Structure formats: structure tokens, C-alpha cells
Chains A and B, each alone.
Chain A
Amino acid sequence: MTLMRRNPWTLFDEFNRMFPALTDDESRVVGSHWSPAVDIKEEDERFVIRADIPGVAPEDIEISMEEGVLTIKGERKHESEEEKEGYHRIEREHGTFMRRFTLPKNVDAEQIAATSKDGVVELTLPKAEKTAEPKRIEVH
């Protein structure tokens, strides 16, 4: 017997499509299978984003930055391809995940660093040096 899996979230996706205004969290992108929980903290010198991404190898996580939008995406693969039968309980989500964040202008995109430990990915986003003071133009 093959195990059929129903994804309850598809119903919510349908609902979201019917009433887009009710669900405006665009950081969870429809189309990916799941999205990780995150903590976002702002410190004096930097932002720190921590994301719970258990069971995904660091090489399967892709972090990119484009036009002020930070994207964390990747895929949780099945641990073993042969394991198809014998399941009594499946709560874990497999497949692609994605989350996007619009970053404040003062983040230095070149200096973003990420580390992964025990299923928690931590990104540090240093703030750029203060931009030059707006130039004041005297009116004579």
C-alpha cells in the first residue's frame, strides 16, 4: 500500500486566493510547502534573524539578497528514499520552504553572514555606516 498524503494547507491557500486581503503576510510565500518560524531582533549595530529549520542540511539552504529583499529558501528532503511504508504518523513537512523579508535600507548586503547549528540558522545583518548627512543648501 502506498501512503497517500493530504496537504491540509492547500485548503488555506485556496481560501487565501479567495480573500487575499485577509492574509497579507507576504513573507510566507504561497507555492512553497512550508515556512520556518523566525525571530528577528534589532541591535544597535546589526539585525539578527534566527530561523528554526530542523532536518535540512546547510547545503540545501539558499540565502540571497536582491533589491532589498532577503530570501531564505531550500528543501527538506526525505532522509531515505526507500522508506515508503510502515508509517503510523507523519506530521513533518517535506519539500520546499521559503520566506522573504524586506530589509531596511541601512543593511549592508555585502556583510550578511549565516551560520547553522542544530537546525537553527542564524543570520547577522550588519547595519551600514551611517550615510552622509543630507547636504544642506543655503539659499542666498
Chain B
Amino acid sequence: MATLRDNLGRAWDQVQAGWNHLVQKASDALTRFTSSDDGADEDTRTLLRLSPDWGLLAAEVRETDKDVRVRLEVPGMQPGDIEVQVHGKLLSVSGEKQVQRESDKGHYHVTECAYGRFERQIALPADVDADATDADYQSGVLTLRLPKASSARARRIPINRA
């Protein structure tokens, strides 16, 4: 009995720890998708109704001496449907993931992918020169290179011999 209680206690601790990790890891990446189904055909409306309202847009932020590099997983987008804005040290990526229209009527067995409008905000570790941002979209991954503002760049300070 004591063993069972120990095991359950340990399992619960693990669930709690796992949950905390999950929240820590995913709460930022979990992004709300809102869909407007105006004018869409019946099949698209069905998918929009069934698809989850939340999607994981996983990001990666890396700082180098010269720039801040951000990668964001946003599969199935048209590059023109992605909007990138920088407000101070806050990066905002918004857009709309649209249902691809190539298939016939049918019914869905599984719907896990999110569709619709989304906006994800990511804190940048340094001030950047937003006008010089370089953006690239390949295999569903948005890659941004944001050069650091001159004030934020690390400067090597020479030490003079006395």
C-alpha cells in the first residue's frame, strides 16, 4: 500500500513537473488562430469549424554580435500573407493561414492543423535596425535577420598599456 502511495505520489510529481515544463515551453508558442469564413465554400467552412483555434508556432531567437536571428515555423503560408513588424524590442509576426483549395467534397476524420488569422509577438534581446531586416520564407519556416542598432552592438574596447 505504501509502495502504491509512493508511486502515485511520484507519478503526480512528474505530471506536475511535466506540466510546468510544458507551460513554460509552449505558452508563448501557442498562438490563437481566428477564422472568418465569409464567402468560403462549404468544404472550407467545415474544416475551419473543426480545426483547432490554437496552433503551435515554434520560434527560435538567437543573438550574434551583429544581429538577432529569428526562425518561426509557419507552414502552409503564401509569403505575401505574412506581415512582420518591429516596435522597439518587440517583434510581431502576423498573417493568415488559408485552407488550400484543391480537393473535392468529403468529410474529415482528423483535424489537428490550425487555420485562420494569427499574430505572434516575440521579445527581442536587443534594439534592432528594423529597416534593414532581411526576411526569407522556405519550407514553412520564416527566417528573419535583424541587424542590431549601432547602440546595441558589442564594441571591443582596446586596453591601452600604461
Contact = CB atoms under 8 A, between A and B. Distances in A.
Contacts of B29: 91
Contacts of B51: 39
Interface residues of A, number: 42
A18 interface: yes
A136 interface: no
Interface residues of B, number: 50
A117 B77 CA distance: 9
Interface in A90-109: 90-93
Contact of B141 (A19, A54, A89, A122): A54
Interface centre among B55, B59, B112, B122 (most CB of A within 10 A): B112
Interface in B44-72: 47, 51, 55-56, 58-64, 71
Given A55-B140, A88-B125, A89-B61, A43 B15 contact: no
A122 B25 CA distance: 28
Contacts of B25: 8, 91
Interface in B73-127: 73-78, 100, 103-114, 122, 125
A88 B73 contact: no
Contacts of B104: 43-45
Contacts of B15: 11, 15
Interface in A3-44: 6, 8-9, 11-12, 14-15, 18-19, 37-44
A42 B106 contact: yes
For the residues of A in contact with B, the DSSP-based class is mixed
Contact of B73 (A6, A55, A57): A55
A102 B120 CA distance: 35
A92 B59 CA distance: 6
Contact of B111 (A6, A19, A39, A79): A39
Interface string A69-101: 000000000010001001111111100000000
Interface of B: 7, 11, 14-15, 17-18, 21-22, 24-26, 28-29, 47, 51, 55-56, 58-64, 71, 73-78, 100, 103-114, 122, 125, 137, 139-141
Closest 8 interchain pairs by CB? A119-B140, A54-B140, A8-B21, A119-B75, A11-B18, A43-B106, A37-B112, A91-B58
